[in-house]
Amino acid sequence: MKVYTKTGDKGTTGLYGGTRVSKNSLKIESYGTVDELNSYLGLIRSYEINPALEEEIIIIQKDLFNLGAELATPVNKLYLANGKPRIPKTVSEEDITQLEDWIDDLESQLEQLTHFILPGGDLAASHAHVARCICRRAERFTVGLAEVEEIRPELQKYLNRLSDYLFVLGRKIALDNKHEELKWIPGE
């Protein structure tokens, strides 16, 4: 199978299930930003980070592929003619709970926040903060998409929780690598 098909040369792309849409549609912005986020998570894994964190990120990357596949599928094509789901695994409440458990675990290892902190630290921690911002953008696009077509609420909820995870991930990586958090003090 070739990487290029030439079918998108005129500004359209095929959704999962065959429907073609403009490459600047909200649907494409939504799952394209999820894809961008997934690539950034791969970048974070390229650094030497705690192996347990790397395993969590791999699970999240798989979840994001499933989430993106669902976003890339028209609502009327989510199920095959035989009634089976087109996408075998989608994000669920269990996946959201897993994120919450990871957040709670990471927060228990961190100093309680009393101020906003400036994003930064080393490269891995800084990239976690960039990934958090990309996740928020993916969430905004997905919220916009939900205003014009039906999507499962778990998709938005997962992205919302994931941005929280990425925030504490950045903090944990900075702590592991002995980088002091810089507080933002209003008026300074």
- What are the pLDDT digits (tens) for 43-63? 999 999 999 999 999 999 999
Residue 129, token pair as written in the block? 């903060």
Mean pLDDT of the chain: 91
- Band of pLDDT at residue 133, cut at 50, 70 and 90: very high
DSSP-derived secondary structure for 33-50? HHHHHHHHHHHHHTS---
- Band of pLDDT at residue 30, cut at 50, 70 and 90: very high
Helix (H) or strand (E) holding 183: strand 183-184
Residue 135, token pair as written in the block? 């996740």
Which domains are delineated in the chain? 18-183 (1.20.1200.10)
Rounded to whole angstroms, the Cα distance separating 90 from 105 reads 24
- Band of pLDDT at residue 68, cut at 50, 70 and 90: very high
- Band of pLDDT at residue 22, cut at 50, 70 and 90: confident
Residue 71, token pair as written in the block? 């976003």
Q: What is the dihedral of CA 13, 19, 22, 24, to 10 degrees?
A: -80
Question: Is the confidence at residue 7, as pLDDT, over 90?
Answer: no
Helix (H) or strand (E) holding 20: strand 20-22
* Residues 144-159, mean pLDDT to the nearest whole number: 95
Q: Which pTM does this prediction carry? A: 0.91
